[in-house]
Structure formats: structure tokens, C-alpha cells
Amino acid sequence: MTYLFTFGETMGLVAADSIGPLGYARSFSYGICGAESNVAIGAARLGAPATWLGRVGRDATGSLITGRIEAAGVRALAISDDAFTGLMVRHRRSAEFTHVDYHRQGSAGSRLMPADLPVAELRGAGVLHVTGVTPALSESCRATVFQAVETARAAGVPVSVDVNYRGKLWSRFEAAPVLRDLVTRADIVFASPDEAALFIDDDDPLDGLAKLGPAEVIVKDGGRGCVARIAGRRHAVAALPVTVVDPVGAGDAFVAGYLADRLAGEPPEQRLATAIAVGAFAVTVPGDCEGLPDRTELAALTGGDVRR
């Protein structure tokens, strides 16, 4: 099995332990969060070799990030930077609404640059995975994403893109042309219906995204499951019924499941089934990546015995 290569900003995560206004929270958990590292950790727990690259500050949070990613079985290429490590503060205002504040402008992760890319690592990967988060962080991050994509394409390495639009990082007007350009260069694309609507006019997000060129288009639709068009064939998979404890990170978990099975040579039907199951498992436990399952735990979920 070849490996997954991904990169981006991973931050410290301060999360209120209780549901309600932040001002009334009396205890907090401290962990890590980042779309790309979540995918790398999820894939590694499913047995897929994974490498993550990113810049971290010379601070306790930077050390925590590197240690946590490596402890999850991911090869971490952490570049030390003089800037601070970014931070996310998150609380659940209600059972239905999660509020996030970013403290990341000028952070170490936002200073990633094309010269940081290990070209040999990229050329030897089984899949390069990037997200729409990284191009929003800075001009140098955007240049790094497109340089990595072009390097991978030239080497025949499949490019995976998760649109992953973040409205707090850039406007829809700013994001749309960049994300569209990125998707046109992808072999595999993941998006929600709302994300696809940012830059396509087609009523059917599958058709609209497929017209941009990717051979594998997967539309993630939360509790409604997913639909996909892979090598011209349409697929639909329903969501699994689970008790939702923390909905954050489900999309990254879904991507991790799909890419892990793709690297293992599984057919599209199996990749999608695994993606749905990993996403479902992720929402049954708190945290962005702490509860991502291994293969044994995943089998327990699909067998009807959810272990928490």
C-alpha cells in the first residue's frame, strides 16, 4: 500500500465541556484540530500509511500537535517557526449549534510556503490530499497548495480535494474562483451540496462537479448520507443511525475512510461504505480526531455494537 500525503495548519483546540453560552462554561478540554491532520490520523488508524506536513510554533501547543499526530501513527513533518501556533476556541451554544472562533492570523501554520514541500515525498505518494482551508490562510499557503497539486499531477499522483469552505476565513466571492480552479485540477473531489453551489450552476452537484473534470466526485450530505459519481457510475449510500455526541470532524472522518480504502485497492462501493461508517463513528465521541476508529472498532459499529 502506498501512502497518503497531506499538509496544512493544525491548531490548538480549546473546547468548552458543557453545552451553553461560553461565559457560563466552567471547564474546558485542550486538544488539537486541523482538517488535513484529522484525515491523516483517520487514515492511519485504518491502516493506511500517512504523512502530514505543517508549520508549528516553538511553543507548547506546537509540541503537543507534533506529539499527538505522531502518536496516532502519522509521519509528521513539522517545521518549527518563530510565529505562534494557531488556536481555535469552540463551544456548543446549544445542542444544535456550534460556535467557533479562530486565532490564527499570522500564525506559524499560515506561513507555509512552496519551498517547504518535499518534492520526493510528493512524487512517491499514493494520493495527495488538500483542502479548501489552506488556500484561505495566506498567499503563500495558496501558492503552496497549487504547487503541490501541480507537482503531484506531473508525477501521476492522484489529487484529492475536499472543498471544505470556511466562511470565517474568506468570503464566498473570494473563495469561489480559487476553489473552482482547485477542483478542475483534482482526480477526487469531496464537497457538500452548499459547497458545490459556491462555484457551479448545475442543479445536480454531482453533474456540476463532474463537468469540471474529477473522475471521482463525492457529495457529503450529513445525515442524508452521500452520493457519488465514480468513473461515470452513480452511487448512493444512506447514513448510519447513531447517537450524535459531537458533529465536528465528521466530514474529515468520511474523507479518511474513503481514501484509506482507496489506497488499499477497495472498489468504490466499499470505499463509500467505509467513509459513511467512519463519519458515523466520529460523531459518537467528542473531539476532532480523538475518537477516530481503527478497523476493529469500525466493525463493531457496522455490526450494531457501538463502543464508546
* Residues known to be catalytic: 252
Q: Distance between CA atoms of 294 and 112, rounded to whole angstroms?
A: 31
Which triple of cell numbers denotes residue 247?
A: 458533529
Q: Distance between CA atoms of 219 and 234, rounded to whole angstroms?
A: 11
Distance between terminal CA atoms of the chain?
A: 30
Rounded to the nearest angstrom, the gap between the alpha carbon of residue 131 and the centroid of all alpha carbons in its chain is 7
Residue 99 CB neighbours (<10 A):
13
CB 110 within 8 A of CB 86: yes
Catalogue the E-assigned strands of 178-282. Answer: 188-191, 216-220, 226-230, 233-237
- Distances in Å between the Cα of 269 and the Cα atoms of 27, 181, 283 are 42, 28, 22
- Distances in Å between the Cα of 228 and the Cα atoms of 133, 164, 202, 269, 286 are 22, 17, 15, 10, 28
Beta bridge partners of 181: none
Q: Distance between CA atoms of 250 and 256, rounded to whole angstroms?
A: 10
Which triple of cell numbers denotes residue 267?
A: 472498489
Beta bridge partners of 31: 13
